A and B are shown apart, each in its own frame.
Chain A
Amino acid sequence: MSKASYIRRYWQLYALLSLPIMYFLIFRYGPMYGVQIAFKDFNLFQGINGSEWIGFDAFREVFGMKEFYSSLRNTFMLNFLDLIVSFPAPIILAIMLYEVKSVWFKKISQTLLYIPHFISWVIIGGIVYQLFGNQSGMVNGVLESMGLNPIPFLTEKNPWLITYLFTGVWQSAGWGTILYLAALTGVNRELFEAAEVDGATRMKKIFYITLPSIKPTIITLLILNLGKMVSIGFDRPYIIGNTAVREYSDVLSTFVYRIGLESGQYTLATVVGLFQAVVGLVFILGSNYISKKVTGDGIL
């Protein structure tokens, strides 16, 4: 079949494909035009074209800033801890849900687990403050009435980190199970029956059937997560963070917000953004390479 007639025959599919392509062109590639701000002394009123080129001056300035390094360190630290704590959570949860026999119980708990995903971080922040404050927090109120010392959940480093990580797990673990559960529906039930005949226990079945069947999904998500090591969402550290733990809660995204949008130094903010993108690319390529070497699976 010639190319032209091939396209004519499947034009509907191409028309559908054109929408995501348009999305990427407009919202992903279009804005890359603005990357040049990193190399210009950007003047709000002259626009991108009217501003003067300054070469790598802005990069030198950013790499000389102390805050840049502390926010970079915090970004890695929070993401790394998140990877250890939050990444396995949906896997465990998905396996547990998969093992549940009662359909109605499974459905109800799935819905309940999804709900936090749809609550915005601003609201979660409010809840966290109400629950974990030192003076007015409910949890500390209970501790105090039991004669225990209050725990500074929000104002000291280690308790804060735990609060930060577990609000993350609470918010996203349920939603994260979706992909794993989808992968699990594809597993052939005969495998389990065969294992049962052979006398495998429930744990054995989990380790030798369930986990290996979702391994590709786990690896794909792990690679994607590693690629995001250097980028971090804005809302969570900004809202859960506070002045008392600023040393640990100040991350690249809040740093960009402060120097870019709050004090109007767009050039510096763009430099940081570009830096994040480049490091992110290195991470994703690197982890993909390693994963291919070690397990034979990759995403690229």
Chain B
Amino acid sequence: MTVNVNQRVLKKAIGIGLTAVMGATLLAGCSSDGKSNSAAGGTDAPGKSAERVTLKVEIFDRGKTPKQYTITNNFVSQMIQKNFGDPNNINVEFVPVQRSEEVTKLNVLMASNTDVPDIVFTYDSSVFYRYAQQGGLTDVGSLLEEHGQTLKKFIGDETMAFGQLDGKQFAIPGKRAITGRYASYIRQDWLDKLGLPVPKNTDELYTTLKAFKEKDPGGLGSKTIPMGMSLGSAQLETLIYSFIKPISGDLTYSQRYELPLHEGFKDAAQFLNKLYNEGLVSKDFSLDEDKAQVSKDIQNGNVGFWSEDVDSMFYADGTLDNLYKNVPGSKVLPADILTNAKVDNKYIKSRYASNGMYIMIPKSSKRAVEAVKYLDWMATGNNLIDIYNGVEGENYDMVEGIPVVKADVSQEFQDRLFTSGDTAIISNGKNLGDQATNEKAWILGFPANNQEALKQSIDIANTDTVGPIVFGKPIESESKYGTTLSDKLNVIIVKTAMAKPDQFDTIFEQEMKDYMSLGGDKLKAELEQALTEISAK
């Protein structure tokens, strides 16, 4: 009897104990992930662990990992570990950050102090300035002198200046290989069917779009989208840039939410209003923030004219290949069409500055020296080419100093490179020399049948470009009101586009007043002030 009772008590106690352990494991579970992401893949040398250190590097996760790899352990990470990590007794560990939540996640990482990677980056200048001003970044000036001479030479003084604040080097700006951004495309087969010429300016484009709508050369009925539109910058900004007057010569305020501060913005909105009300643009463009829908529509052959990032149509099995597969007989012609009446009918479009992302080393990092050494290694010799192109003879051949992607590379070899661009952070695009060489190298990385069209696209993207004014100091209002005004810009565009034409003026005035009161007026004043300062210099 007593035995029985004791057993019952014991059972109860075990039950409670187990419950408590499970609870504790649940609590502990939150903190234990992310620690086992070593890229080393079994190359640890346990004997030397005393002096071996770990360098943590941020990497964008775009969710496109082939199944034999992970985002933290793959061909490129193993190559880096072997060629850089092991000789220097460093474990290189990659910390994935989802591409679409980059800034949000980075803010969280930076706040944690202990979990933050030793190398982080962002494209957003106001994020960089905020971290620098709040004292969160390492001044890498002297470290670069000591350990980063190759890197310094690779980036160049002009680009390096983008990472400075008050004379201190708080970031290493990546170098951009190609500054052209956008090109436009029209369906040649639709034009041929209607016997129309390629439109040469914005007015002619309007006539062509109307013909696409009325005569329906694709035979698609209500599915026809004469002009593809989205809230993505490739579609929206190219249209706006063909109406605004740049602030000074071929330079202007570059942030997307600063477009309403330009003369001519209203004309752009009005044109879009006209197109929308006549059913000439994508009806659901207001729902399409990441241009996913418009890409789908293009691939399905429903779109007659559109703008895109200069390269994005041409990847293997990309938009263009899919269109040609889906719609036999279709033909896409890269064509510069959108002219700007305020700038002598030039084909005004935006270009990038010469810098890429801001690469930063948090102040709390104890591996600043190793971080600079890593970036310096990347700039040395053939390392960048290897990261971008994989294995010579298997992925590419060297032809006159340019790595040429081999035709019919097997999927297995192609999959090696899915992290290439996001690992080679010091270089945005393939940097081999001057822009012409870079472009050549870039084109040769694409499938052979798309290379000619890409070349035309690049030529279009480089025509009549307008670049960003570089102030060399933070614009406070940008970091303060940037996200709010970005959101507001989208609202202005959508509301004015969808307004009935006779209500356009009222709604536009109302929305602009809102924009100004949400911080637009302060931003405008500060930008104008900064502008007089640099022209006084």
Contact = CB atoms under 8 A, between A and B. Distances in A.
Interface string B504-531: 0000000000100110000000000000
Interface in A252-279: 258-259, 261-265
Contacts of A133: 284, 287
A211 to B, nearest CB: 39
A67 B286 contact: no
Nearest to A65: B518
B19 interface: yes
A24 B284 CA distance: 45
Contacts of A144: 222
A264 B130 contact: yes
B441 to A, nearest CB: 36
Given A43-B134, A67-B518, A263 B104 contact: no
Nearest to B296: A136
Contacts of B501: none
Nearest to A45: B136
A154 B287 contact: yes
Nearest to B27: A26
B135 interface: yes
Given A45-B110, A136-B293, A246 B487 contact: yes
A135 B535 CA distance: 49
Which of A22, A47, A246, A262 has the most CB atoms of chain B within a 10 A radius of its CB?
A262
Interface string B469-491: 00000000001101110010011
Contacts of B108: 261
A277 B427 CA distance: 47
B136 A44 contact: yes
B312 interface: no
B287 A44 contact: no
Nearest to B492: A243
Nearest to A18: B20
Given A243-B494, A247-B491, A263-B480, A44 B111 contact: yes
A263 B16 contact: no
B498 interface: yes
Given A244-B286, A263-B480, A12 B16 contact: yes
A219 to B, nearest CB: 33
Contact of A242 (B134, B225, B287): B287
A16 B19 CA distance: 8
B393 to A, nearest CB: 44
Given A67-B518, A265-B480, A135 B134 contact: no
Contacts of B222: 144
A258 B514 CA distance: 18
Interface in B63-84: none
A153 B128 CA distance: 40
Given A44-B110, A258-B487, A242 B136 contact: no
Nearest to A141: B222
Interface string B335-372: 00000000000000000000000000001100000000
B231 interface: yes
B107 interface: yes
Contacts of B103: 262
A134 B13 CA distance: 62
Contact of A243 (B111, B282, B289): B289
B356 to A, nearest CB: 22
Contacts of A243: 231, 286-287, 289, 487, 490-491, 493-494
B193 interface: no
A15 interface: yes
B210 to A, nearest CB: 18
Interface string B109-141: 011010000000000000100110011100000
A155 B498 contact: yes
A234 interface: no
A44 B491 contact: no
Contact of A263 (B12, B20, B483, B490): B483
A136 B285 CA distance: 11
Nearest to B363: A45
Contacts of A46: 134-135
B215 interface: no
A262 B104 contact: yes
A16 B103 CA distance: 41
B23 A19 contact: yes
B20 A19 contact: yes
A262 B103 CA distance: 7
B283 interface: yes
Contacts of A45: 110, 113, 131, 134-136, 363-364
B495 interface: yes
Nearest to B481: A263
Contacts of A101: none
Interface in A44-85: 44-47, 66-67
Contacts of B493: 243
B107 A261 contact: yes
A47 B282 CA distance: 47
A19 B364 CA distance: 35
Interface in A159-212: none
B286 A43 contact: no
7 contacts: A45-B131, A46-B134, A133-B284, A135-B284, A243-B287, A244-B286, A259-B484
Given A26-B27, A44-B131, A46-B135, 14 more contacts: A16-B16, A43-B135, A47-B113, A133-B284, A154-B284, A154-B287, A155-B287, A244-B286, A244-B498, A247-B491, A261-B108, A263-B479, A263-B480, A264-B130
